[in-house]
Structure 1
Amino acid sequence: MHSLGERILYIRKKNKLTQKDFADLINVARSSIGKLENDEVSPSAATLLEISKAFNVSIDWLITGENYSKNNEIIKYTNEEIVNIIENASDEDKEFIYMFFNKFKKLFKDN
């Protein structure tokens, strides 16, 4: 499976779901499923999250094809370690981190 659409199709077929049933589970229109499976459109962050939760697959796997199960994901850093990394970053890196998190926050807010 080389594409995100192929992985979405794989999940749907593995679970023996129609496009309508799959769409209902992840809260999207049925017409969107074919477009997602054929890589005609990209899913929103919210849709990726819904698929991940509904079928216990990692978002990483959906996007890259690696780390299939969410159970295989390892939290690499504690909150304290993350704070230390940011505190020790250069001003330029801090600015990048700030911009990244604001864009990430906006992405989830818009969906």
Structure 2
Amino acid sequence: MNLSDRIKIIISENSLKQKEFAKSINVTESYISKLLRGESGVSNSTATLIEELYGYSIDWILNGSEPKFSKKNNTKDFTPIQRKIISDIEQMDESDLIAVKAFIKSLDAYKRSFDKNEQ
């Protein structure tokens, strides 16, 4: 498995679009396209950022060496959708975070009212 295959796996397992993945690691979409075509490599700093955001080990990203997930990063225990949500939240500004918090509170209130109705 080559680097482009590993990048495709990261994008796929995290339910990302190339544009979203590029934005999350602060690179251009054209850079991601080059990676996917095997025309470019990944620097250590970019691999480190991918490890921090998505939990894949630097050695696996760069060389395909197992283990696939970093032992120092607990995101390996998250599902791909959980990792995607965390990545999205990390990119939000203050007003977006306030809105998400309000949504979570309203969802909790809804669940509690639903539980009371069942009793």
* Structure 1 stretches of 4+ moved >3 Å: none
For the Cα contact (< 8 Å) 1:6–1:38, is it kept in 2?
no
5+ unaligned residues in a row in structure 2: which ranges?
74-119
What is the root-mean-square deviation in Å for CA atoms of aligned residues?
Answer: 1.7
Larger radius of gyration: 2
For the Cα contact (< 8 Å) 1:57–1:69, is it kept in 2?
yes
Deviation, structure 1 residue 64: 2.3
User: What TM-score do the two structures reach when normalised by structure 2?
Assistant: 0.56
Q: How does 1:1-111 map to 2 (within 5 A)?
A: 2-65=1-64, 66-71=66-71
Number of positions where the alignment pairs a residue of Structure 1 with one of Structure 2: 72
5+ unaligned residues in a row in structure 1: which ranges?
74-111
Q: Percent identity?
A: 38
Deviation, structure 1 residue 36: 0.8
User: What TM-score do the two structures reach when normalised by structure 1?
Assistant: 0.60
- Residue type matched to 1:62 in 2? I
For the Cα contact (< 8 Å) 1:5–1:39, is it kept in 2?
yes
- Residue type matched to 1:31 in 2? S
Deviation, structure 1 residue 14: 1.1
